[in-house]
Amino acid sequence: MDYALTLKKHNLKATPQRLKIVDILYKNGHLNIDQLYELLLKKFPSLSLATIYKNINTMCKKLFLQEVKIPHQKNVYELSKNEHSHLVCSKCSSIIDIDLDTSKILAQAKSISNYKLYESSIVLSGICPKCT
């Protein structure tokens, strides 16, 4: 993957720091800000947490990154991709992507509530195969 090119496609300057963020998220999947910070410090020892926050926010605004809200945990970040759901292990906190057909849930919610629905974010908690 050409990280620089993908950044430019989202109107984001390909700074060394951003390139590293993309690289880390590409290799590690979903990470919260602390985990990201720790990995970034290895390459940029003088980096401040505030700078990362700013960078992550900008990248989210440009829809390059997505913030995933996990119940009882810090928000995690991932590279934007097609809509998908998440499975979270309550023992080891690992998070994986899962493609679920949410159309029935959405249709049901719509008919019950009359809401115009435009977004669904489904996080299922359980225990992963490694931890059972």
Q: How far is the CB of 84 from Zn ion (least distance, A)?
A: 6
How many residues interact with Zn ion (rule CB under 5 A)? 7
Using CA atoms, how far residue 49 sits from 24, 40, 65, 71, in Å, is 16, 10, 17, 23
Query: Residue 31: beta bridge partners?
Result: 77
Which C-beta is closer to Zn ion: that of 14 or that of 67? 67
Does 78 help bind Zn ion (rule: CB under 5 A)?
yes
Nearer to Zn ion, 51 or 85 (CB): 85
What mask of x and - would describe binding to Zn ion in positions 96 to 115, judged by CB under 5 A?
Answer: -x------------------
User: How many CB atoms neighbour CB 132 within 10 A?
Assistant: 8
Our CB check for Zn ion shows the closer of 14 and 128 to be: 128
The helix or strand, by DSSP H or E, that contains position 39, with its residue range, turns out to be helix 33-43
Number of H helices, E strands in the chain: 5, 6
Q: Which is nearer to Zn ion, 87 or 106 (CB)?
A: 87
Tell the smallest beta-carbon distance from residue 113 to Zn ion (Å). Answer: 26
Nearest alpha carbon to residue 51 among 5, 91, 86, 16: 16
Residues that bind Zn ion (CB under 5 A): 78, 89, 91-92, 97, 128, 131
